[in-house]
Amino acid sequence: MALGRTRLILAAVAAAGLPVLAAGCSFESKIAVQFLGTAPVVVKQSTKVDVTPLRVQGTTKRAGQVVRIDCSITGIYDVDDPTGPAVLVQLYVVHLHTRPLPRGTPYQLDCAGPLVVELPSDASDIQATATDAAGLQVALPVQAPLKTIALASGKRLRAEPGTQFAVVGQPSLAAGAHTAELAFSLSEARTFREKVLYTASVSCGRSKYLQPIRPLVTTMARVRALTLQTNATSVPIPHLFGGIRAYGQATRTLSCAR
């Protein structure tokens, strides 16, 4: 992991008629962590987020219309280089598109889909909030505990043994800076692993599901874990790629049942 301050930007660029976070979400380099109490212990995690919401929805106007969107995540890292301070920029783009659709097919695509967090199975009382720069706090919707989450083509993402999913939505955050906080209880104070998955929300025809964006996976075994220790005050956000590679991309076809 690079040394210094890291900033993550979650962005989506509308291409030929689709959605997401325009300039995106900008995340601070580290997640602040607090362990409160002993048994049960309350775990609080927070990070700074800069939101620029954008959503595209509509109904296809002609037979064979293809809806497209580019969802991207950019990591901007201040690093210690042998020649002095430097900046590492990593960009990851996922090109999403539907197959040719019948005329009159409704769609709504949002690259600012919910955050999927994999937590220990004994995590309870899971809550999330966002506080804007003026101090106005709003509760974010949380679905938990979940063992599976619908993906495209009838597939499901499954929580790993001993874990559960908490799906944190961000349906109506205003543009601007926010402090996002996730809080939950554990049966005891201990080191544990946590995984986070950024997604896009897809609604197309009769299909409604989440499309993983980063990492672009269909199994949680491929998601890098964060290790939270009881004496930690923060956890660094990992680079988008290993090493200093600057750019990566992938393409996915979205399912759209009639």
Q: Which residue has the tokens 């919910």?
A: 114
Does residue 29 lie within any of the structural domains?
A: yes
Does residue 155 lie within any of the structural domains?
A: yes
Q: If 0-12 CB within 10 Å is exposed, 13-18 middle and 19+ buried, where does residue 200 land?
A: buried
pLDDT tens-digit map of 112-155: 889 999 999 999 999 999 999 899 999 999 999 999 999 987 79
Quick one: which of 44, 60, 49, 58 has its CA closest to 21? 49
pLDDT-derived band at 75, boundaries 50, 70, 90: confident
Residue 13: both structure tokens together: 């660029």
* Residue 215, preceding peptide bond in cis (omega within 30° of 0): yes
Does residue 134 lie within any of the structural domains?
A: yes
> Is 50 exceeded by the pLDDT of residue 48?
yes
Q: In the chain, how many domains are there?
A: 1
Gap between the Cα atoms of 113 and 209, Å rounded: 10
Residue 170 CA, chain-centre distance (Å), reads 10
Who contacts 18 (Cβ-Cβ below 8 Å, separation ≥6)?
Answer: 56, 67, 68, 69, 96, 109
Q: Whole domain around residue 120: which residue ranges?
A: 6-254
> Is 70 exceeded by the pLDDT of residue 100?
yes
Q: If 0-12 CB within 10 Å is exposed, 13-18 middle and 19+ buried, where does residue 241 land?
A: middle
Identify residue 120 by its one-letter amino acid code. Answer: P
Terminus-to-terminus CA distance in the chain, angstroms?
Answer: 45
**7-11, 18-22, 39-43, 95-99: range with lowest mean pLDDT:** 18-22
Does residue 190 lie within any of the structural domains?
A: yes
Q: Please, where are the H alpha helices in the chain?
A: none
Q: What is the torsion angle, in degrees rounded to the nearest 10, for the CA atoms of residue 158, residue 194, residue 91 and residue 58?
A: 50
Gap between the Cα atoms of 160 and 164, Å rounded: 7
Q: If 0-12 CB within 10 Å is exposed, 13-18 middle and 19+ buried, where does residue 254 land?
A: buried
Residue 230 CA, chain-centre distance (Å), reads 24
Does residue 1 lie within any of the structural domains?
A: no
Question: So what's the pLDDT on residue 18?
Answer: 23
* Residue 141, preceding peptide bond in cis (omega within 30° of 0): no
Question: Are the C-beta atoms of residues 101 and 256 closer than 8 Å to each other?
Answer: yes
Whole-model pTM: value is 0.85
pLDDT tens-digit map of 178-196: 888 999 999 999 999 999 9
Q: What is the torsion angle, in degrees rounded to the nearest 10, for the CA atoms of residue 196, residue 249, residue 170 and residue 137?
A: 80
Residue 149: both structure tokens together: 């989450």
* Mean pLDDT in residue range 85-103: 88
**Of residues 131 and 5, which shows the higher confidence score?**
131
* Mean pLDDT in residue range 13-38: 53
| Torsional sign, CA 174, 179, 185, 191 | positive
Gap between the Cα atoms of 244 and 33, Å rounded: 27
pLDDT-derived band at 176, boundaries 50, 70, 90: confident
